[in-house]
């Protein structure tokens, strides 16, 4: 296995609400795809919202009920907000404040207002409509990078059927 992470999938209660939060509220480019699929084995739908992030990472939103079916896991304890948090590195303290305000305006709940931390960073936390925890971070030693996004759709080429040598004549 190579040292990389390609897709982060968040289980969501309502796909349309979460798409609206991330796309319209936070400004991430994304859309719902796969609405025409239904898995005959698990009963899970294929509908998912995808966001292509910088650095090649894909953020996927998948209805929680379908993720439970698709992964074949029990739904015993329900969701937990503290199993992990998603981190977003910024280039300045000001950007932390701006992004937390933007998330709040989009419907996020601020769990910890931006402030200086004892270990030398400036950060704040919010949770999205499904309770997923985000930390917006300014760390002078690790500034956020803004590499351009290479769209999968631009690099994908159509597959053409190859004719056999016999049929080329």
Tell me: the pLDDT tens digits for 128-157?
Answer: 999 899 999 999 888 776 655 454 444 333
Using DSSP's 3-state secondary structure scheme, residue 112 falls into strand
pTM: 0.73
46 touches 36 (CB < 8 A): yes
Query: Which of 131, 107, 133, 112 lies closest to 123, judged by CA?
Result: 112
Residue 14 has pLDDT above 50, yes or no: yes
The architecture that CATH gives domain 81-141 is: Roll (3.10)
Domain ranges (residues) in the chain: 1-72, 81-141
| Residue 150: CB atoms within 10 Å | 11
pLDDT digits 0-9 by tens, 75-113: 776 666 666 789 999 999 999 999 999 999 999 999 999
Same fold, 1-72 and 81-141: yes
CATH class, 1-72 region = alpha beta
């Amino acid at each position: 296995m190579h040292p990389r992470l390609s897709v982060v999938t968040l289980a969501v209660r309502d796909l349309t609400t979460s798409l609206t939060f991330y796309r319209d509220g936070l400004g991430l480019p994304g859309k719902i795809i796969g609405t025409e699929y239904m898995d005959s084995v698990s009963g899970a739908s294929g509908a998912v919202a995808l966001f292509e992030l910088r650095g090649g990472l894909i953020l996927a939103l998948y209805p929680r009920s379908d993720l439970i079916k698709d992964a074949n896991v029990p739904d015993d304890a329900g969701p937990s907000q503290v199993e992990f948090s998603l981190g977003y590195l910024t280039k300045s303290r000001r950007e932390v404040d701006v992004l937390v305000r933007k998330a709040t305006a989009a419907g996020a709940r601020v769990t910890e207002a931006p402030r200086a931390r004892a270990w030398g960073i400036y950060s704040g936390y919010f949770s999205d409509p499904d309770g997923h925890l985000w930390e917006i971070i300014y760390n002078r030693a690790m500034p956020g990078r803004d590499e351009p996004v290479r769209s999968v759709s631009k690099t994908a080429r159509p597959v053409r059927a190859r004719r056999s040598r016999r049929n080329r004549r």
